[in-house]
Homo-oligomer: A and B are copies of this chain.
């Protein structure tokens, strides 16, 4: 049995195309990048591109999903019973983003976030909502709303972090996040 995905040639092609996309997104907006640009930059045949990906969006989403998957240990987010809200630790998430800062920076610079919002952010949002549900029996506001706000704050915090001098560690970003967001959340959860 031959494993298609493990073929060195396939991996090489995929890597070349993903790198090309990141490179190009640092140079111009995602919407302005054409398949032609990608295959030129990756030095890959046109038909090769289409045998790996459906289109440009598929390449972007696929590359991002790879990252998301790498984040699966983050599923340990769920709190123990009676655990205080302060226990929330997003450090693994921020560490992951720091490791792949190049990709996230490209996303922030080149746009293409609309596509990610539908997969990435909503997934994170669901996890946070589940976390809150486990803690709060009687929330004063809809959990979906609070989770949405918390996710948005993560997103904007990371934007600021990656665009600034980047001198903060993931643990520090985690502290800042909690300092800025948790007081309001605690009140709304009526803990």
Interface positions of A (Cβ within 8 A of B): 29-31, 111-115, 140-142, 144-146, 148-149, 151-153, 155-157, 159-160, 164, 176, 179-188
Is there contact, CB below 8 Å, between A151 and B156? yes
Complex copy number for this chain: 2
CB distance from A153 to the nearest CB of B (A): 5
Q: Which residues of B contact A186 (CB under 8 A)?
A: 183
Q: Are B183 and A179 in contact (CB under 8 A)?
A: no
Q: Is the CB of B153 within 8 A of A159?
A: no
Q: What residue of chain B has the Cβ atom nearest to residue A56's Cβ?
A: B31
Please determine whether A180 and B188 come into contact, CB atoms closer than 8 angstroms.
Answer: yes
Supply 5 A–B pairs (Cβ within 8 Å), ascending by A: A111-B115, A141-B176, A142-B164, A152-B156, A183-B186
A160 & B144 in contact (Cβ 8 Å cutoff)? yes
Is there an interface contact between A156 and B149, defined as CB atoms closer than 8 Å? yes
Query: Which residue of B140, B181, B185, B188 is within 8 Å of A149 (Cβ)?
Result: B181
A-B contact sample (11 more), CB < 8 A, given A113-B114, A142-B160, A149-B153: A31-B114, A111-B114, A112-B114, A140-B179, A142-B164, A148-B156, A149-B157, A152-B152, A179-B188, A183-B183, A183-B186
**Contact A180 to B141, CB < 8 A, known contacts A156-B149, A156-B152, A157-B149:** yes
User: Are A184 and B179 within 8 A (Cβ)?
Assistant: yes
